[in-house]
Amino acid sequence: MLRFIASRLLQSILALFVVVSATFFMLRAAPGGPFTSEKAVTPEILHNLEAHYGLNQPLWRQYVGYLGNLAHGDLGPSFKYANRTVNEIVAEKFPVSAELGAESLAIALLGGIGLGILAAIRRNTWIDYVASTFGMIGISVPTFVIGPLAVLAFAIHIGWFNASGWYTPLDRVLPALTLGIAYAAPISRLTRGGMLEVLHQDFIRTARAKGASETRVVLHHALRGGLLPVVAYLGPAIAGILTGSFVIETIFQIPGIGREFVNSAFNRDYTLVLGTVILYAVLIMALNLVADIAQAWMNPKVRLES
């Protein structure tokens, strides 16, 4: 297991280096700059701004300097927020996105796994058909369609929730449901398929022959093997929830890091774009590593093959 974890860590470090380097050079290759989107400034002021932020240096020197600061945990100053660093902005905005992601993931896991188990043990009944229909609709309809429809129905027409904002507990409901349902759908289908495969195994028939209740058969014997596809999917799913918050935070005007990333891309705020990309890359790699470890723990065959 230690070799397995060490291998994944080395792969993650290499992948992070590639992500940082590619993002750095792609930002510099894009037309325009952080000080060209606003009203025109005089060449003298533009020169002073570029000198202050080090943008007048050769590209390779900027790159090496950024990597050196990054090694010390310094993400640099923001080009658009005066007297603020990227570290401060990330520390302020990320907890909002983390809360939205945790609530959405809880909805996705509880709803998806619950529906999948019910569909598997009630195969070819109306419960199975409802769960399959939900899964198909959830996979087919993107969040940027579900979000505005939810606002239109539950905020504008019915008036149960606010159309935007992040002030009261009720403001969390629509964004978390919109993002959670999008991932509850594939999780329900994966759970159903995994449970159906396990429920036909010999050890399940043996457990039933020994008189074990259906609840014990499902929860104690079948669930661990049936959830293997879900565990394998959790890494990409959590990554999708994190990056999906870009859309949700923009639709519902949530002051999170995803919305800040979108604004920084439009503003060409190089350091803030890089900081958010690095943050999401580290999170996604860490969560994928946790998913791999959980899968290896649940299925020793994966660990041995690795």
pLDDT per residue over 167-184, tens digit each? 888 888 888 888 888 888
Contact between residue 131 and residue 124 where contact means Cβ atoms under 8 Å apart: no
pLDDT per residue over 257-267, tens digit each? 877 887 787 77
What is the structure's pLDDT at 24?
84
pLDDT per residue over 185-236, tens digit each? 888 888 888 888 877 777 777 777 777 777 777 777 677 777 778 877 877 7
Contact between residue 63 and residue 17 where contact means Cβ atoms under 8 Å apart: no
Contact between residue 230 and residue 115 where contact means Cβ atoms under 8 Å apart: no
Which of 239, 236, 262 is CA-nearest to residue 249? Answer: 262
Domains with residue ranges and CATH for the chain:
95-255 (1.10.3720.10)
3-state secondary structure the chain: CHHHHHHHHHHHHHHHHHHHHHHHHHHHHCCCCCCCCCCCCCHHHHHHHHHHCCCCCCHHHHHHHHHHHHHCCCCCECCCCCCCEHHHHHHHHHHHHHHHHHHHHHHHHHHHHHHHHHHHHCCCCHHHHHHHHHHHHHHHCCHHHHHHHHHHHHHHHCCCCCCCCCCCHHHHHHHHHHHHHHHHHHHHHHHHHHHHHHHCCHHHHHHHHCCCCHHHHHHHHHHHHHCHHHHHHHHHHHHHHHHHHHHHHHHCCCCCHHHHHHHHHHHCCHHHHHHHHHHHHHHHHHHHHHHHHHHHHHCHHHHHHC
What is the structure's pLDDT at 66?
82
Q: Which residues make Cβ contacts (< 8 Å) with residue 265, sequence separation at least 6?
A: 273
What is the structure's pLDDT at 147?
84
What is the structure's pLDDT at 193?
84
Residues present in the chain in total: 306
Dist CA 121 CA 31 (whole Å): 57
Dist CA 148 CA 150 (whole Å): 5
Contact between residue 86 and residue 76 where contact means Cβ atoms under 8 Å apart: yes
Pick out the chain residues at pLDDT < 50: none
What is the structure's pLDDT at 36?
66
Tell me, yes or no, if the pTM score tops 0.75.
Answer: no
Q: How many CB atoms lie within 10 A of CB 244?
A: 22
Q: How many CB atoms lie within 10 A of CB 123?
A: 13
Contact between residue 181 and residue 269 where contact means Cβ atoms under 8 Å apart: no
Which of 21, 28, 88, 73 is CA-nearest to residue 53? Answer: 28
What the block records as the tokens of 217 is 């058969």
